[in-house]
Structure 1
Amino acid sequence: MFTGHIAGLGTSAGVRIVVGSWHRSPFGAFTDVMVQQPDERRVLLAPTDAVADFVATTYHFDSVEVGPVAATLGTDRLTVRSAALDLDVGIGGPAPLDRLLRLVPGRLATAPWWLRTIDPVASRLVRGVRTAGTAGGGRREYYGVRRSRRLTSAAGRYRDADLGALRPLWPPVAFGFASAPPTPQLVSVTTTIIDAG
């Protein structure tokens, strides 16, 4: 079980980014970044070999880079630093479905049976989004989102190239069975990954 935050955004440079900032996981607290480049190559930035091995066997990447990845999450800003990526993101108020998400009790919101049940509804409400599906290695994966806030700005560099301004995360990223929402946002989430067998 991984508990923390996921930020998904696009940029005017064509780089699409999904940041996972986890404060509780089987690997302790860590941050990883999934990048889909304008040429559609999928790159994982992971802080350790153990995290890289697990994430790369759960999702799909064209290359994996291991090295320090740090994130700082404040009330109105997320910053991410790594050898390849410098990213500063502004965080605003509630995203469109935040009020609906808050109506679901916490334990129910992260229960796999519930996430399987609501998956068809979630995928119709938000393009590209799924709450349950099959991950790499025959694993089953469940996304239990409890809160969602809008991202209001983005600035930074990826491989020494300017990322430009914040844009929708579109087309969807192709790391796994689901994408982050097209509207840039930061979600509070518990991700449950169950091994096959």
Structure 2
Amino acid sequence: MAGYGWGVGCERLVFDGWIAAVGTGSGTRVVVGHWPRSPFGPFSDVMLERADGWRTLLAPTPRTAEYIAGVYHFDEVRTGPVGVRIRGSAWEVAAGPLELCFRVGRQGPLGLALRAVPRSLARRPLWAAVTDVPARLMAGVRTRGSSRPGCRQWYAAGGLWPIVAARASFGGTGLGALAPVVPPVRFGFASAPASPALVRVLSTVERVVA
């Protein structure tokens, strides 16, 4: 899954998996990345932003934590086991002090349309450029951009499911009922859709390396 980009000193890594995003009644927004295929092997990670704007990364290993924190922005980084269990439409996530359970509903027209895009086309930077404007207008997200100098990213969605129910706690304290992902999270150049959703995604990150 790893390769090199357009010039010497550019590293391009591809992450193939899922991103789930939920808001909660307490104002905490949670974004889960579940990556069965990645340059680091299978892993999952969690990004949280509290109502006061404090951003936390929960990553399984120092290596994945260092990489993710080098691409996105956080106020705090914690390492420890991050487990994801999928049973049909139900997902269970356990990451340090966070426990999250959510259930997805049926795909709508947009999700079905995304599934129809060939993977070979979806992973190209040109496709991300083509879909960037529609993604902003329809879902309030961006499909390409840069979070840090010397780094650019693009996303290709291959399906979208609404999250219809969720229960979350942090440190044993409930985070409240399922709510929109509002205000937008500020980890990188792109937020998650305002409506809680699970997205099948191919994420490509290209960075300048020494």
Q: TM-score, with normalisation over the residues of structure 2?
A: 0.89
- Deviating 4+ runs (over 4 angstroms): none
Structure 1 counterpart of 2:60: 47
Q: How many pairs does the alignment contain?
A: 196
Q: Is the 8 A contact 1:71 1:81 kept in 2?
A: yes
RMSD: 1.3
Partners of 1:87 and 1:104 lie apart in 2 by 30
Q: Is the 8 A contact 2:61 2:80 kept in 1?
A: yes
2:96 pairs with 1:90:
no
Structure 2 counterpart of 1:22: 35
Aligned match for 1:151, one of 156, 163, 184? 163
Q: Can you list the C-alpha shifts for 1:102-157, whole angstroms capped at 9, x where unaligned?
A: 23222112211210222122112212x01111132421101110001110111131
Percent of residue pairs bearing the same amino acid type:
42
Partners of 2:109 and 2:58 lie apart in 1 by 29
Partners of 1:95 and 1:175 lie apart in 2 by 27
Question: Unaligned regions of 5+ residues in structure 1, if any?
Answer: none
Aligned match for 1:141, one of 153, 156, 159? 153
State the AA in 1 paired with 2:161.
R
Q: Is the 8 A contact 1:19 1:33 kept in 2?
A: yes
Structure 1 counterpart of 2:91: 78
Offset of residue 50 of structure 1: 0.3
Offset of residue 95 of structure 1: 4.1
Q: Can you list the C-alpha shifts for 1:27-64, whole angstroms capped at 9, x where unaligned?
A: 10001000001211000000000000000010000000
